[in-house]
Amino acid sequence: MGMPSNDRKCRDKPGVWQPPFECAKREESNMKKRLISLLLAVCMAASVLPVGAFAAAAGETFAYEYEGQTLNYKVTSDSTVEVAKNTGITGTLKIPETVYDGDQNQYTVTAIGNDAFGGNDIRELELPSTLKTIGDNAFSNNYNMKNFKIPEGVTTIGAYAFNSLWGITEIEIPASVESLAQGSFQWCGIVEKITFAPGSHLKEIAGGAFYQCEKVKQIVLPDSITQIGGAAFKDCKSLEEIVLPEGISKIEAAAFYGESADFKVHYKGSEEQWNAIDVIWSNYKNGGNNDVLKQEGVVDYNYAPADDLPDDVDFDGDASWMGSVAAAAAIGTGAAIVAYQFGTTVYLDSVLPEGADIPVTYGQLAKLMWQNAGSPEPETALAPDADEVQKAMAWAVENELIDAHRKADFLVSRVSVIRAWNKAQKLAAAK
């Protein structure tokens, strides 16, 4: 008799014929054994997982002790937390970069929550470098808090976040800050210095942001600013001068209400650009308006500060005067300015064409470079009656010697003249 067909052979005994019902019973039994083995393996694996392998759910809170101080934290994701509300905090506060919950899950501290430390008595503050957001009223009414550093990386500062800090004398806004909410630093009465880090991303000074910062005398707003909110600098009674970028498009009511009689606005744009700004003259809800901006002589147009010499300027000549500037700076600001003027004059007299005056506007600079290059026709289509300055400006912009947003009547610093002139000479040498 021939061998039975393969479908009569059981899988655990190949080549041996078995009745079909015997094979089915064997299959069922073997499957049960495999399932049991699998379940045992899963259980064993679970038993060796570390405690805390599963993070807490978003919104859950826990306490964590760091350097002898216990703070409350709220989970915002499987890897991040914000500092939750805390009371009774006195003296020094140090917030760590990372914390652990009760199951030893690790989280990065990325935010200070709303009202986290409002109304405490914090004297010294150290914020973590991992911070991205500082919430509304986060540190308000800590009257005795001294100067602290907001770390680079923070993008948002909430409403009244640092309201009524009567112990701080300096405020520095990092370049990373994109949002500065209403009243963020208001009533910081003894602040004497407000600075914005180079490369700022901030576009708006919100309403009441520096309201009643009574001691500050000078503020230089970053070029990124386009709007100044209502009462932003209201009752900054000691403010003597403020530098505004040419990109300002709106100034809301009472932004500069209550300043001293000697108040001065240095505006980097032209008078025409200034007149195009949307200025709200009507009364602010707390009284006052922007009439100070209407006073004759208050606004200084085409402002171009005597900026420090950047590292990337190539002099291709005797730059010994730089040592004089550095030495003078150690003596004082006045001496440094004198050295700056003298040094740049000596250098420019040595590199500019004989008898040429040092340019004081971008139009004069463009014309000097253009004539020195042989007065070439610009590629840009100009009106038939275009004058030499217009042709020179077009040519200078085409050759990236002057930024396109500069106007011919804008004042130009000595450093900008040096940089543009040396670039023009390199351009001529390359042709």
Q: Average pLDDT in the 12-28 region?
A: 58
Q: 202-243: per-residue pLDDT in tens?
A: 999 999 999 999 999 889 999 999 999 999 999 998 988 899
Assess if residue 384 is contained within a domain.
yes
Does residue 385 lie within any of the structural domains?
A: yes
Structural domain containing residue 415: 321-430
Structure tokens at 128: 């973590």
pLDDT, average across residues 174-183 = 96
Instruction: Answer yes or no: is 296 within a domain.
Output: no
Average pLDDT, the chain: 83
Asked if residue 326 belongs to a domain, the reply is yes
**Does position 331 have pLDDT exceeding 50, yes or no?**
no
Asked if residue 118 is part of any domain, the answer here is no
CB 86 within 8 A of CB 114: no
pLDDT in tens, 356-368: 999 988 899 999 9
Instruction: Identify whether 338 is part of a domain.
Output: yes
For 246-265, how does the pLDDT look when each residue is reduced to its tens digit (9 = 90+)? Answer: 999 999 988 988 766 578 89
Half-sphere exposure (Cβ direction) of 82: Cα atoms closer than 13 Å? 19
Give the pLDDT of residue 55: 67
Rounded Cα distance between 424 and 431, Å, is 11
Distance CA 400, CA 94 (A): 48
**pTM for this model (two decimals):** 0.62
CA dist., res. 106 & res. 418, Å (int): 53
Would you give the end-to-end CA distance of the chain in angstroms? Answer: 101
Q: What percent of the chain has pLDDT over 90?
A: 57
* Residue 81, helix vs strand vs coil: strand
- The amino acid sitting at 175 is A
- Residue 155: pLDDT band (50, 70, 90) is very high
Sorted by sequence, the CB contacts under 8 Å of residue 90 that are 6+ apart come out as 120, 121, 122, 123
Does residue 292 lie within any of the structural domains? Answer: no
Is residue 307 very low, low, confident or very high in pLDDT (cuts 50, 70, 90)? very low
Determine contact, residues 210/194, Cβ cutoff 8 Å.
yes
Nearest of 67, 69, 99 to residue 86 by alpha carbon: 69
Does a structural domain hold residue 191? Answer: no
Rounded CA gap, 213 and 256, in Å?
12
Strand partners, 220: 243
Report how far residue 386's alpha carbon sits from residue 343's, in angstroms, rounded to the nearest whole number.
36
Phi-psi region of 101 (alpha: psi -120 to 50; beta: other; left: phi over 0): beta
Looking at the structure of the chain, the number of domains it has is 1
